[in-house]
Structure 1
């Protein structure tokens, strides 16, 4: 079909606006990436845009000399993996129960769960509860916090209600219990929604810095993003430099700046979760449309 002049102009304008939007969105990340590979003293002169002017790996060498980086990596990875797995399991189990007909007080439980999405007791009462349960400053709390997401539960429930009744009926005829149907039938066919919501949960847990900053006081339990916030603080950066050996301190005084270290640390904290996206991207189109169509 041949496009008119007006259609071509409109399409060109849309492409131009999308290109500008993509550039504005991506450039700050790319510039930070470039600065992390550029000499700090050269970066201080300005003019670093798309490519490193004085390429160096010294920023990353100094960052990885801090042993707490590896500890924070371990805590973040464990929290993301365990937290995502447990969140998907308990949220899906909760949603599966609410998707069944004839459940006693089903509407009450649904409204009660939705109520928590809009209202909460506030940070101070939450802190008091966490402290009174001896969960303050524990790794278990990092996993327990936000284990059941009401928003994800609603998406799970919508997906489960669209499953054909014949699938579960045939499984029950074969002798499956409720848990057997859930584990052997429901979860295996829920790949797209599990992958989509699992990735969203993993990204949230990986990027969450505020909750650990409030409820974790032990530096050995601090996740990577919280450590990054601390490193951005000038006082913490100074402490980081003081822990380096004499060679590293000499290098810092000559070529490395606080900004260069901040950019390198930010890349170390951000790149791993970005690598995961391409492998699960094929589930997005189907996963995010769950509930929009009904057969």
Structure 2
């Protein structure tokens, strides 16, 4: 008995497809348009933008807002801090979390269940901001670049993903390496890491996006303007939209037609553009990362 795999669509199927497409287009519009609105207004003359009515394209195209942004050395300094903490923080986080996960993936590890239980508790409970602040103060991490790196070097959530992946790897690979005289650390470097690049890419993307977007650490733990990331700088621009803050941005005399709002929009574009451009090419790793360890082949 043959089954017709190409069943003709009914009228109800056509209506469903139309409704489904309309819903998806609406969701896309609601998601994308706010970003488009920010970009359009950032490329418009600031004084003209105050009149409103700019929705789809710049009415008076101008690059003055971006000239004001890049003329300010504070923004360039903050952007450099963000790039540095994203690169260094991601490498340290991935490598350190992977080492801990590799150890906890071994059932023969003494105290393994205790370590996993303690880590699981941290997913639901924390000591609070004040004890955390006092701890970092006593460790000498306040107003220190390492405050972006050391506290974020480990994540139990990422450890779970790593552990699930490591458990699926054939034990025969490690046994063969041991026969050749490799110790645990050499096995991790020469065998485990090369075979685990998908999960490493996943966690690197997770943490890289976090490091790039994080502004809270710069607000609470860093008072030195030279160590504040671009997201913290943007937060302060948005929070202080009065004339004093903007006069510092335009003190170079490069522009005269900008406003506090137009410069804020341009700053938003500058700070978010790099991660927005990278994310679409790496988004598949988010989906793959959530499925790692879920199905055994």
Give 1:130 shift.
Answer: 0.8
Q: What's the counterpart of residue 31 of structure 2? A: 25
1:63-212 to structure 2, matched below 5 A, reads 63-212=69-218
- Contact kept, 8 Å, 1:84 with 1:198, in 2: the verdict is yes
Of the three residues 260, 264, 285, the one matched with 2:262 is: 260
Of the three residues 203, 215, 219, the one matched with 1:213 is: 219
Q: In structure 1, how many angstroms separate the alpha carbons of the residues matched to 2:80 and 2:63?
A: 23
Number of aligned pairs? 291
For residues 100-127 of structure 1, what are the alpha-carbon distances to aligned partners after superposition, in whole Å with 9 as ceiling and x for unaligned? 1211111110010111111111000111
Unaligned runs of 5+ in 2: 1-5
RMSD (Å), alpha carbons: 1.6
1:230 counterpart SS class: helix
Structure-1-length-normalised TM-score: 0.94
Q: In structure 2, how many angstroms separate the alpha carbons of the residues matched to 1:270 and 1:237?
A: 24
Change (3 A) 1:282 1:122: closer
Give 1:64 shift.
Answer: 1.0
Name the structure with the higher helix share.
1
Give 1:246 shift.
Answer: 6.1
Structure-2-length-normalised TM-score: 0.93
For residues 39-71 of structure 1, what are the alpha-carbon distances to aligned partners after superposition, in whole Å with 9 as ceiling and x for unaligned? 111111111111111100000001111101111
For residues 131-162 of structure 1, what are the alpha-carbon distances to aligned partners after superposition, in whole Å with 9 as ceiling and x for unaligned? 11111110011111221011000000001001
Q: In structure 1, how many angstroms separate the alpha carbons of the residues matched to 2:279 and 2:249?
A: 35
- Contact kept, 8 Å, 1:40 with 1:257, in 2: the verdict is yes
Give 1:235 shift.
Answer: 5.5
Q: In structure 1, how many angstroms separate the alpha carbons of the residues matched to 2:252 and 2:192?
A: 59
Change (3 A) 1:247 1:74: closer
Unaligned runs of 5+ in 1: none
Change (3 A) 1:57 1:85: same
Q: In structure 2, how many angstroms separate the alpha carbons of the residues matched to 1:99 and 1:237?
A: 56
Q: In structure 1, how many angstroms separate the alpha carbons of the residues matched to 2:191 and 2:219?
A: 40
Deviates more, 1:279-288 or 1:67-76: 279-288
Q: What's the counterpart of residue 224 of structure 1? A: 230
- Contact kept, 8 Å, 1:192 with 1:284, in 2: the verdict is no
Q: What's the counterpart of residue 275 of structure 1? A: 277
Structure 1 stretches of at least 4 aligned residues deviating more than 6 Å after TM superposition = none
Change (3 A) 1:292 1:50: same
Q: In structure 1, how many angstroms separate the alpha carbons of the residues matched to 2:99 and 2:69?
A: 42
Q: In structure 1, how many angstroms separate the alpha carbons of the residues matched to 2:237 and 2:243?
A: 5
Q: In structure 1, how many angstroms separate the alpha carbons of the residues matched to 2:64 and 2:241?
A: 21
